Amino acid sequence: MSERADELRQDARFRALRLIEANPHITQRELADALGISLGATHYMLRAFVGRGLVKAGRFASATNKSAYMYLLTARGFSEKSALAGRFLARKRAEYEALKLEIEELGAELGDDRHMGGRTGN
């Protein structure tokens, strides 16, 4: 697996755990839509979370849709989310710094010390 593909998977797992924490009643379809991945991939991810003890999944009795599930992060799930958050933040900071440098270099090439702040070149 390439490093980039692994990063994308980690990002999806992190985002999924954040979404589940924020909304335990989220459906698999809603989660798939929010993550931009297929419903099948979402189902597979949730099964893996449950299998690894990161998430508890259970039906809730008061639901009119008896196939609806509630997903709860376990203590292990919170720990995993925190670890993923740290790696995600480090990658995003590195991407930000690289982008900032690229903008500065491009601005210097074009003779614009203001980083092209809204100018169209006219």
Residue among 53, 67, 55 at smallest CA distance from 19: 55
Q: How far apart are CA 88 and CA 15, in angstroms?
A: 10
pLDDT at residue 59, rounded to an integer: 76
Q: 47-95: per-residue pLDDT in tens? A: 999 999 999 998 765 556 556 789 999 999 999 999 999 999 999 999 9
Backbone angles phi, psi at 57, to 5 degrees: -120, 130
- Mean pLDDT, residues 33-37: 95
* Residue 50: CB atoms within 10 Å: 16
pLDDT class of 105 with cuts at 50, 70, 90: very high
pLDDT class of 113 with cuts at 50, 70, 90: low
3-state class (DSSP) for residue 31: helix
pLDDT at residue 88, rounded to an integer: 95
Question: What sign does the CA torsion over 73, 78, 82, 84 have?
Answer: negative
Amino acid present at 55: V
Q: What structural domains and CATH numbers belong to the chain? A: 3-109 (1.10.10.10)
